[in-house]
Amino acid sequence: MVEFLLQNFFLGLGLAMDATAVSMTNGMNEAKMNLKKILFISLMFGLFQGLMPLCGYFAGHFFIKYIENIIPIIALIILVFLGLKMILDTILTKDDSSEKNISITFKVIFLQTIATSIDALSVGVTFSNYAVDEALISSSIIALVTFLICILGHYIGKIFGNKFNNKAQIIGGLILIVIGLEIFIKSFLK
**Model confidence pLDDT, tens digit, residues 51-92:** 999 998 888 766 666 777 787 888 888 888 888 887 887 787
> Domain containing 109: what range?
2-189
Please give the pLDDT value at position 154: 94
Please give the pLDDT value at position 123: 82
Encode the chain (190 residues) as per-residue pLDDT tens digits. Answer: 899 999 999 989 988 988 998 999 899 888 889 999 999 999 999 999 999 999 988 887 666 667 777 878 888 888 888 888 878 877 877 555 444 456 788 999 999 999 888 878 878 877 877 889 999 999 999 999 999 999 999 999 988 877 776 677 788 788 888 888 888 888 778 6
Please give the pLDDT value at position 166: 66
What is the number of structural domains in the chain?
Answer: 1
Please give the pLDDT value at position 99: 47
Claim: this prediction has a pTM higher than 0.85: no
**Residue 52: is it exposed, middle or buried by C-beta count within 10 angstroms (0-12/13-18/19+)?**
buried
Please give the pLDDT value at position 52: 93
Distance CA 118, CA 165 (A): 31
Cβ atoms of 23 and 41 within 8 Å: the answer is: yes
Distance CA 147, CA 47 (A): 8
Residue 114 CB coordination number (10 Å) = 16
Residue 69 CB coordination number (10 Å) = 9
Please give the pLDDT value at position 98: 47
Please give the pLDDT value at position 49: 95
Task: Name every residue whose Cβ is closer than 8 Å to that of residue 30 and which is 6 or more positions away in sequence.
Answer: 37, 101, 102, 103, 104, 161
Task: Name every residue whose Cβ is closer than 8 Å to that of residue 73 and which is 6 or more positions away in sequence.
Answer: 184
Query: Position 172: which residue type?
Result: G
